Structures are given as C-alpha cells and as structure tokens.
A and B are shown apart, each in its own frame.
Chain A
C-alpha cells in the first residue's frame, strides 16, 4: 500500500495546474462555476485551447494525435479541470466516437474523421435513444434500408444532447428486423445537413434547451459511413458505453461542488451565525464529505487497476451509482444553503440585465439541482446499474 502519487504524477499535476492558471480565463471559469449554459463558441474555444497543447484527447493513442495518458494521468487531468471550473470536454466525438473509430473504423474513416474531431471541424452528437428505446436500447426502431450505395434512414432519435450545435450524428439503426434485436443493429454516421434530418429542441424542467429530438425522414446516407460490419453495431455500441463510463464517478465535479457549497454556507447567515456553523447543516455537509472521501479512494483503486491493464467491471457501475448520488446530494445542499433566494427563476434572459436578485451564488442552485436529476437517469440509469451489480454477485437467477 502506498497512498501517494509518484513524483512523476505530482509533476504532471503541477503542469496541468500551471496550464489551467494560464489558459483558463476567469470569465469562462465563472460561467462554469455558476452552472450557466455555455455557448458553442465557449466549447469550441476551450477545445481549441486544449488541442493546441495536445491535451484535447487524453485517452487517444499518440498515432491519432492523442495524449496517450494512462488512467491515473487522465484522472489527474479531469480532477484539476473540474476543480478549476474548466468547461467539460464535450464527450461525443472525443470520448465516444473516437475510440470506436480507432478500434472498428476502416483506414479511410480514421483518416477522415479523427483529425476533424480534434480540429473542431465536426460537432458530433449521440443518436442512441428513441422514444420507445431507453433502458431497453436494443429495441430501437430507426430503420436503415440499403439502396445501391446508400442507406435510406427513417425514424426518430430523442434526448440528443447538444444536437442543436451538431453537424454530425452517430446513430444506431436497425438494418435487420428479422433477427434477435441485438443482432440487427448497425452503427451509422449521418451528416445532419442531409435532406430529411430535422432537429427539434426539448425544453427541460430547468428551462434549459440542451436536448433535442432528431427526426429522420428518408435520409440518404452513403454506405461508406457504416462503421465496421453491418448488423454488428451492438458490439460497437457497448464498446462505446464502456468509454462513456470513464470519469463516471465525477470526483472532480463533486469536490468543486462541495467547495462551492461551503462558500455559500460561510456567507449565508442563519439565526445570527454563518450557516456552516449550524449543527444541522454542518452534519449534512460532513456526511457528504465523508462519502466523497471514500468514493474518491474507491475511484483511485479502480483507476490504478485499470492503469495496470485490468478492465474495470462491475466497479464502474458502482462508481456510477455512488458518484451520481453524491453529486446530487451536493446539488441538494447548495439549494438548501441558498434559502429563500433559491426561489427566483434565473433564466438566461435575466442574466443579461445587471439587476442581480439576491446573492450571485444563489442564481443557479435550483436550476442545477433540477438539471442534475439527469445524472441518475442517463448513461445507463442507476436502476440498470444496480441490476448489473446484483447480477454479477448473484448470477442470472430465474
């Protein structure tokens, strides 16, 4: 047992810190800290900044322009970025599609699409879920029929995060309806500027418009946009999901979130003293902090296993469940801490007026609390994760 990072890892952390101190503007960091919606420009700018340093694709091998970090380095980078309130790297191209193309794409696809992801030429979104296919993803119905050197695609995708910014969508489509659900699915890359693609925004309960419906009507997709083999899409989709689940624990987000709650509780007065000294609030805070402390160590145990080449199994499901519960608890503490000033609805429009309502820190606590209910729903719901954990321990009981 050695609970310390190696000197090389410490040096790497110092390097990341210095980079963030130099390149992350306070404006952008504030926006992230306050949980305000980032514009496409904000994201593009941050991606370009990281790309210039060679750090945009920490998980990619060097041959594709990645930083080729090991699991510990990736963790250090993600943690420092979260604590500095850097924008999250938009995962669809970098964390999801990239690894799939590298493993299953042909040479032409790799050569064409991978550099475009790094350079920001394409903005990708994820077209998996459908109205009828959520947890039961394999039941998806969007149909792709071969017509010469094209597929003709018809169907509807939904919950497409940031699809409004995207020009490309990777989709799971049904190419064979006559076999077992998982065996008739293919993985297609679709240009969203093709005729027949329509994106409709979905307004979420916090007033944000980060997700969309994507309607596909007789969309013609060239066959060279098929990744891997026809009807093997489910394998690639599952491979992608294991990548989606890296950094699933969100330790950095929780650490930054907890600090933010403490700042609120030091300022907010309750019964004549700072809220942080109120024993009821302090107890809530301490309990989450203890949970986070333990979970961060679990996360490191899993990471160091991964760094030594073992693929994480059921542990990533555990980290998903615990990590999201902790983040949601921290969001809950933040809204509690803000007191009555959690009531005003801080719409984007109001941010442009300079009339602040109540303290700055209160402006987005409620929208963030509401928005992050999604954490336990997407990326494989917490119920589905629990099912995986139980099945691993109990076997398939009938």
Chain B
C-alpha cells in the first residue's frame, strides 16, 4: 500500500495551490461572482495552461491523467481556493461525453466552453428521468423539452443535451448554443457561477449531432456522473480544509473576555470533532477515487458512500465553522461565507445525502 501522490500529481498539486493562493483571493472571487459572466476567462486560460484541464483526460485523448486520482488532485485544490469557474461542466461532464478529438483538444487548451443539459424540472437527482423528446423529421432531429439548472449554459459554445428517442432510450446531442428554438433563462447560483433553464422548442439539428450510439447514452452518463461526483467530493474536501483552517486561525486571534476564543474548551472539542471528521472525508475521497475505474456496481457503491459522508460532514463543517466565528462569518466579504455556501450547495448537486444513502443501501444488498 502507498497513499502518497505520484510525483507528477504532487507537482500539479503544488503548482495549483501556489497559483491559486496568490491569484484567487476573496476580493478577486467576489468580483468574479458579481460579474455578468460569472467566471473569469483569464483564470480559465491560466489554469488551462497550468494543466488543470489536461489532467482530466488520458493520454489517448491528448491529456496526461484522467483517472480518479487525477480528478481528485485537481478538484481538491479548486475546492481549497473556492474556485467558481466551470471545470466540472466543461472539463469533466461534457468533456467525458464527447468523442470528437478536435473538440477535446480545444477543451484542453481552454478554448471551448460546454454545458451538460441533462436534469429536468421534475427529475430531481434521478439520472434516468428524462422526458425531453428527440423526434426524427425528414432526416433531421427535433428536440422538445426543458432542462433544469444547467450550469455554464450561457457561456457554453455547445450544449450536450440528453433526450429520449423512439424506443424510449436516451441519446445525447451536441447542439450549438445559438441554435434556433433554444431559449436560455439565466441566473446566478448561490455558490457562484451561473446556470440557466434551457427551453427547447422545436430545436432542429442534424443527425450527425448525435454523440455515440442511439439510445445507449445512459451507461455513458452514469460513468461520467461517477467521475463528476468524485470531483465534487474532492472539491468538498478542499473546501472543508479551508473552512477549518480559517476557523483555526480565527480561534487563535479573536479575543473575548480577555483571551483568545480558542482557549474555551467548548470550542476546542468541537474543533477536534471537525478535524476527526475531516480525516474521514479525506479517506472516503481516496476510496472513491481509487475505485472509479472498477466495475460500475463496485464503483458506484464507493461513490455513493463518499457523497453521503461528504453531505453529512460538509454540513457539520460549514455550520460549525460559521458558529465558532460568530457574526463575522455571516458577512459576504469574509472568505468563509463563500466557502460554506459552496460546501452546502454541493449537497444539491448530483444527488444529496439521502439519495446516496438510499443508493448505497441498494448497491450493498
């Protein structure tokens, strides 16, 4: 057994950490969040140059990673810095569903933005709950339906849209954002970045827009979502490390009753509990990342275990960090506000604590 990162991953981690620590300050991020675009194109290309996107693809695809551990390394650092740029959407979700090498090259180079439009207003976390229809009409495909909370949709050059074809199976399609009939209703997200409701009203596209084999999308979606869930869990780990570090620093500097509040045992023990749970999280992220390339039923059992634990510990860490700070943590301009929001909002992405508990039970039976 060896729990050390490989030399390459260690280097990537160090580089990212250093770069983000200097560039991605609270003030900078708050500016990004308040901007109309909701992300920084400059940071996007800078990070692409540092290899953040390349690390998410394997060598055959022109990348230099692509495994669970590569994903975890990158996203833990993105989490630590509270990055809001859409690496999950473009790099992982959409990037993994595409098979056009020229587009993958562009993604790795940081020249293309994508979004994955799969979930619908009533599907909640159910991956198989798709009612958007793809109908064949005179050699064209016509899409009708509505997609919900599609992150990065407005910035995306292309959307990957899932829909049911005749025979009831799910396929997905690569659709340029400005295609006629596609309406985007955009809004900011609680934890930064933007999303949109995507309304598809007779969106007519070429048959060549279909990616992969007709009706065979669900498997590929599940594999992709497993990778994305590992990414979210690693991001949450990084976020929690920051939340706890901020709290440690604050407990040492804030004084009340003539001494640092960190001298109160009532707070010390709660800090200790957070640190214990943080190690639990670190371990479950390693387990999930390490099983990402195993058979789907084994893989998903670890992925669900991780997402469930992250949901529980994430809530503890976010709430306790705020509480132990007192009023200051309630303010927008303090770093923890964003970090805590992002931790909590991860519970609303790709299945919440209860969803993954239920799935873990089903997969353990």
Cα separation A159 to B327 with both chains bound (whole Å): 8
A-B contacts, CB under 8 A, total? 132
Of the listed stretches A114-122, A186-194, A202-210, chain B binds A202-210
Kindly name the residue among A284, A341, A383 whose own CB sees the greatest number of chain B CB atoms within 10 A: A383
Q: Which single member of A271, A342, A376 contacts B348 (CB below 8 Å)?
A: A342
Instruction: Decide yes or no whether B122 CB sits under 8 A from chain A.
Output: yes
CB under 8 Å from chain B, chain A span 351-374 = 355, 357-358, 366-367, 369-370, 373-374
Residues of B within 8 Å of A328, CB to CB, are 319
CB under 8 Å from chain B, chain A span 232-249 = none
Q: Which single residue of chain B is at the shortest CB-CB distance from A381? A: B326
Does the CB pair B189–A345 fall under 8 Å?
yes
Does the CB pair A345–B187 fall under 8 Å?
yes
Consensus secondary structure, chain B interface: mixed
Interface code A303-339, partner B: CB below 8 Å = 1, 0 otherwise? 0000000000000000000000000100010011001
Of the listed stretches A38-46, A128-136, A149-157, A170-178, chain B binds A128-136
Residues of A within 8 Å of B216, CB to CB, are none
Q: Which single residue of chain A is at the shortest CB-CB distance from B331? A: A202
Q: Which single member of B119, B126, B266 contacts A387 (CB below 8 Å)?
A: B266
Does the CB pair A336–B354 fall under 8 Å?
yes
Q: Which single member of A158, A205, A332, A343 contacts B195 (CB below 8 Å)?
A: A343
Does the CB pair B190–A355 fall under 8 Å?
no
Q: Which single residue of chain A is at the shortest CB-CB distance from B352? A: A336
Instruction: Decide yes or no whether A270 CB sits under 8 A from chain B.
Output: yes
Assuming the A-B contacts A343-B345, A345-B187, A383-B266, are A280 and B330 also in contact, with contact meaning beta carbons closer than 8 angstroms in the complex? Answer: no
A397 smallest CB distance to B (angstroms):
12
Does the CB pair A344–B189 fall under 8 Å?
yes
Does the CB pair B327–A203 fall under 8 Å?
no
A103 smallest CB distance to B (angstroms):
28
Residues of B within 8 Å of A358, CB to CB, are 121, 148-149, 197
Does the CB pair A366–B327 fall under 8 Å?
no
Interface code A86-117, partner B: CB below 8 Å = 1, 0 otherwise? 00000000000000000000000000000000
Cα separation A374 to B319 with both chains bound (whole Å): 11
A177 smallest CB distance to B (angstroms):
16
Residues of A within 8 Å of B28, CB to CB, are none
Does the CB pair A378–B354 fall under 8 Å?
no
Number of B positions contacting A (CB below 8 A): 49
Does the CB pair B323–A373 fall under 8 Å?
yes
Interface code B302-335, partner A: CB below 8 Å = 1, 0 otherwise? 0000000000000100010011001101111100
Interface code B92-125, partner A: CB below 8 Å = 1, 0 otherwise? 0000000000000000000000000001011011
Does the CB pair A205–B330 fall under 8 Å?
yes
Q: Which single residue of chain B is at the shortest CB-CB distance from A269? A: B122
Does the CB pair A378–B327 fall under 8 Å?
yes
Q: Which single residue of chain B is at the shortest CB-CB distance from A347? A: B188
A131 smallest CB distance to B (angstroms):
9
Instruction: Decide yes or no whether B179 CB sits under 8 A from chain A.
Output: no
Q: Which single member of B149, B264, B354 contacts A280 (CB below 8 Å)?
A: B354
Of the listed stretches B9-17, B73-81, B336-344, chain A binds B336-344
CB under 8 Å from chain A, chain B span 157-202 = 185, 187-191, 195, 197
| In the A-B complex, the 7 residue pairs with the closest CB atoms | A205-B337, A136-B256, A280-B354, A203-B332, A345-B190, A345-B188, A339-B124
Q: Which residues of B contact A (CB under 8 A)?
A: 119, 121-122, 124-126, 148-149, 185, 187-191, 195, 197, 255-258, 264, 266-267, 315, 319, 322-323, 326-327, 329-333, 337-338, 340-341, 344-345, 347-349, 352-355, 357-358
